[in-house]
């Protein structure tokens, strides 16, 4: 605890001594902080994953799709399911009227081969059917396959069991985790990729076949790496920076240059510029670049934080400056308190009496003349 306190005091002293710190300081009031939705996170040493990026899509897991068909020709007598309906194994899904003679003609029941969701219904009541037709399709979405198309030059880094973070554009706020289940036996010559398939648990049925997906496949790990979330990083390749919460001032943020290392889907390695415990802005960081110097002056912020007055440039006021300011305020207060309603009354009355005296003196001189 003592060493941490010394570290914080040292960093604060260095910050105060840095002439650029004041130029890069943005101080906001509470309203602007709320409007910008400012959120902070601590820079910390974590396990950092090196990843490779790939695109792909969601598919039905092999063996989890079934087709309902009729063994005999005839016509659809009734259809009992619709797309998106959940069915259990052996549930009735349709009845087929046979072409064999009879009064009435014999009918047979068609049932679901598996439990799952009805994805296609290709018949309607009264429609002629034959044994080669695919009447109803049922898929089990409790577990799906996410197939990544990995560039061939990265395929050597793949092995079964690697973990991946999977995102789909239809669900931008969700990240699905899965492990690599199998790698394709052959590569796609046209696209120059090889398929890496992940089996993803899908209990809420949110992932659907055909959805596009993005994959971040972790190929290795390093421990005790200083890193921050990617959204905190601002600038371009020529100069990266973050906004760090000031240690001593409330709602104050310092634009701080950083040197970055490797980057994965969620975090960025920081080689220099930050210390563990620094709080960096993640949400609202981009908009801080348009805030100028902020909505609160450095003097106001320092006065509020330290409880005594400062100069406009943020430096400490000397005893002489404080005394002069106090004398000025004292003189101004006395001058202002003397000019009240009573003073105004006496001044007005005196002026009126002076005017009457002048008028009386004028008329007296005319009468004498």
Q: How many domains does the chain have?
A: 3
Structural domain includes residue 175: no
Structural domain includes residue 320: yes
Other C-beta atoms closer than 10 Å to the C-beta of 73 total 15
pLDDT per residue rounded down to tens, the chain (369 residues): 444 443 444 344 434 435 555 678 888 888 888 888 899 999 999 999 999 999 999 999 999 999 999 999 999 999 999 999 999 999 999 999 998 888 888 999 999 999 999 999 999 999 999 999 999 999 999 999 999 999 999 999 999 999 999 999 999 889 999 999 999 999 999 999 999 999 999 999 999 999 999 999 999 999 999 999 999 999 888 899 999 998 888 888 999 999 999 999 889 999 999 999 999 999 988 888 887 665 455 445 455 555 555 555 555 655 556 556 655 555 544 444 444 554 555 566 676 677 767 766 666 666 555
Structural domain includes residue 191: no
Q: Residue 78 in contact with residue 138, Cβ under 8 Å?
A: no
Structural domain includes residue 89: yes
CA angle, 83 then 86 then 91, to 5°: 105
Q: Identify whether residues 80 and 104 lie together within a single domain.
A: yes
CA-based radius of gyration for the chain: 40
Q: Identify whether residues 261 and 289 lie together within a single domain.
A: yes
Confidence (pLDDT) at 303: 52
CATH number at residue 112: 2.40.50.100
Q: Identify whether residues 89 and 113 lie together within a single domain.
A: yes
Structural domain includes residue 38: yes
DSSP, res 61: P
- Residues linked to residue 226 through DSSP beta bridges, in sequence order: 45
Q: Residue 248 in contact with residue 205, Cβ under 8 Å?
A: no
- Residues linked to residue 40 through DSSP beta bridges, in sequence order: 281
Give how far Cα 30 sits from Cα of 34, 62, 150, 294, 303, Å.
Answer: 6, 55, 47, 11, 17
Q: Identify whether residues 135 and 69 lie together within a single domain.
A: yes
- Looking at the chain, the number of H-run helices and the number of E-run strands are 7, 21
Other C-beta atoms closer than 10 Å to the C-beta of 363 total 9
Q: Identify whether residues 296 and 227 lie together within a single domain.
A: yes
Domain extent, residue 325, equals: 308-338
Structural domain includes residue 351: no
Among 139, 160, 190, which residue terminates a domain? 139
Where do we find the tokens 């914080």?
8
- Residues linked to residue 197 through DSSP beta bridges, in sequence order: 147, 182
CA distance 108 to 102: 13
CA angle, 111 then 113 then 114, to 5°: 120
Q: Identify whether residues 295 and 318 lie together within a single domain.
A: no
Q: Identify whether residues 22 and 76 lie together within a single domain.
A: no
Q: Identify whether residues 245 and 289 lie together within a single domain.
A: yes
CATH number at residue 283: 2.40.420.20
Structural domain includes residue 334: yes
CA distance 328 to 188: 84
- Residues linked to residue 164 through DSSP beta bridges, in sequence order: 178, 217
CA angle, 112 then 117 then 120, to 5°: 80
Confidence (pLDDT) at 188: 93
Structural domain includes residue 239: yes
Q: Identify whether residues 230 and 274 lie together within a single domain.
A: yes
| pTM given for the model | 0.65
DSSP, res 292: T
CA distance 343 to 348: 9
Q: Identify whether residues 256 and 291 lie together within a single domain.
A: yes
Among 113, 139, 165, which residue terminates a domain? 139
Q: Identify whether residues 233 and 287 lie together within a single domain.
A: yes
């Amino acid at each position: 605890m003592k060493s941490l306190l010394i570290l914080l005091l040292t960093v604060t002293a260095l910050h105060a001594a840095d002439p650029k710190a004041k130029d890069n300081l943005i101080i906001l009031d509470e309203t602007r902080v709320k409007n910008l939705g400012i959120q902070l996170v601590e820079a910390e040493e974590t396990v950092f994953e090196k990843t490779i990026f790939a695109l792909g899509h969601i598919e039905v897991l092999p063996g989890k799709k079934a087709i309902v068909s009729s063994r005999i020709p005839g016509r659809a007598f009734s259809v009992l399911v619709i797309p998106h309906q959940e069915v259990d194994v052996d549930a009735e899904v349709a009845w087929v009227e046979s072409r064999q003679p009879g009064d009435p003609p014999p009918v047979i029941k068609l049932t679901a081969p598996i439990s799952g969701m009805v994805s296609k219904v290709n018949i309607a009541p009264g429609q002629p059917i034959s044994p080669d037709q695919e009447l109803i399709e049922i898929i089990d979405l409790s577990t799906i396959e996410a197939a990544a198309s990995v560039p061939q030059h990265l395929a050597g880094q793949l092995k079964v069991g690697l973990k991946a973070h999977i995102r789909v554009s239809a669900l931008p706020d969700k990240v699905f985790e899965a492990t690599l289940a199998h790698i394709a036996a052959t590569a796609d010559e046209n696209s120059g990729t090889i398929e890496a398939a992940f089996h993803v648990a899908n209990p809420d049925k949110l992932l659907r076949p055909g959805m596009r997906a993005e994959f971040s496949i972790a190929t290795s790990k390093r421990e005790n790496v200083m890193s921050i979330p990617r959204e905190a990083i601002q600038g371009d390749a020529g100069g990266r920076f973050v906004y760090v919460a000031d240690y001593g001032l409330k709602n104050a943020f310092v634009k701080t240059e950083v040197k970055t290392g490797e980057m994965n889907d969620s975090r960025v390695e920081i080689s220099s510029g930050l210390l563990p415990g620094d709080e960096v802005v993640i949400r609202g960081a981009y908009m801080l670049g348009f805030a100028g110097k902020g909505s609160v002056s450095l003097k106001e912020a320092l006065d509020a934080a330290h409880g005594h007055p400062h100069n406009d440039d943020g430096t400490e006021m000397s005893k002489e400056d404080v005394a002069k300011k106090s004398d000025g305020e004292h003189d101004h207060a006395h001058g202002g308190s003397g000019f009240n309603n009573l003073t105004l009354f006496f001044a007005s009355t005196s002026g009126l009496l002076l005017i009457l005296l002048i008028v009386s003196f004028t008329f007296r001189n005319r009468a004498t003349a």
